[in-house]
Amino acid sequence: MLKIVPTDGALGADIEGVDLKKVDDATFAKIEDAWHDNLVLRFRGQDLDDDSLADFSRRFGVLDMAPTGRGGTPFDPGRPEITVLSNIVVDGEAVGALGNSELVWHQDMTYNELPPKASLLYAMEVPESGGDTSFYNMYKAYETLPEDLRARVKGLSCKHDATRTSSGELRHGYEESYTHEARPGAVHPFVIRHPASGRLALFLGRRPNAYVPGMPEEEGDALLDELWAHINDGPHAWTQNWRVGDLVIWDNRCALHRRNGLDPKSRRLMHRTQVRDEARPVAAWAS
Ligand code: OGA
Ligand code: MN
């Protein structure tokens, strides 16, 4: 019997009583509804390999390829849809991305024209402390946005930077510096209408290298700083403390996430998939 147990935070729920290797259509429908209601779902005590992780992820849609790792190739060329996140180094080479760094608040791959609707992150090895992942509810961020800021972002879009990771590292194939106009990325509305819930969400991607096209840089930076201060000072978060066997799925359209740092002496190994959306983010004000 599937049981939905919301967290005590502003988003997230545990789903109990489900083996993700055996999900029938009726159970999947309940999971998808719970995901839309809670934005982030956690399934504890799972036993997944890359095949079963990919199979469950594919219930949500078509998988996107992982952002490429070292030298522009996937971490495992045989499994280009699996993103490996790890601080483990073997023979001087990192086995995965993002290392020990603390990450900034972000949404995954919003520098693409069609960002993923979901990311699914599975814990294979976790440190005793550190490496926790927090999530932020962007419906609530929008609903609590002061009236003047709501009016100022209406009709505006933001350019999301493709060149750096959420730890600030330069991705393979990009230059050290760009003008805002020339920097590779994608432009998305500041406020989107979620295609399943119909609710409005603030859609910010990440702060570093963000740019408001058509606005003088200083004015755009001031607007971005105010929007991000609303997040950084806000209460609408929940933090996941990982256990081995946890599978967490988040709605990348209406939730931010970030990870705190971790002790380089500890080991952390996570495998992730990302599910392509059916359509580009749609502006709240689009008719
Ligand atoms: C991610 C990510 C956070 C973490 O998987 O997209 O940002 O906890 N990872 O490793
Ligand atoms: Mn991420």
φ and ψ at residue 62, rounded to 5 degrees: -75, 135
Decide if 174 is inside a domain. yes
Question: Positive or negative CA dihedral for 34, 37, 43, 44?
Answer: negative
Task: Provide the whole-model pTM.
Answer: 0.97
Ligand 2 centre and the CA of 210: distance in Å?
16
- Domain contains 43: yes
**From ligand 1's centre to the CA of 86, what distance in Å?**
10
pLDDT score of 73: 80
In a domain, 282, yes or no: no
Residues 114-129 have pLDDT tens digits of: 999 999 999 999 999 9
CATH of the domain at 21: 3.60.130.10
Compute the mean pLDDT over every residue in the chain, rounded to the nearest whole number: 96
Tracing tokens 């330069």 back to the chain, one arrives at 170
In a domain, 220, yes or no: yes
pLDDT tens sequence across 172-184: 999 999 999 999 9
Write out the residue range of the structural domain in which residue 168 sits: 3-276
Q: At CA 32, angle to CA 29 and CA 38, rounded to 5?
A: 140
Average of per-residue pLDDT across 2-21: 98
Domain count, the chain: 1
Ligand 1 contact, 121 CB (< 6 A): yes
Burial class (CB in 10 A: 0-12, 13-18, 19+), 159: buried
Sign for the CA dihedral angle at 96, 111, 259, 32 comes to negative
244: in domain: yes
Kindly report the CA angle at 102 between 100 and 107, in degrees rounded to 5? Answer: 115
The dihedral over CA atoms of 138, 144, 145, 151, expressed in degrees to the nearest 10, equals 110
Domain-embedded: residue 286: no
Does ligand 1 come within 6 angstroms of the Cβ of 259?
yes
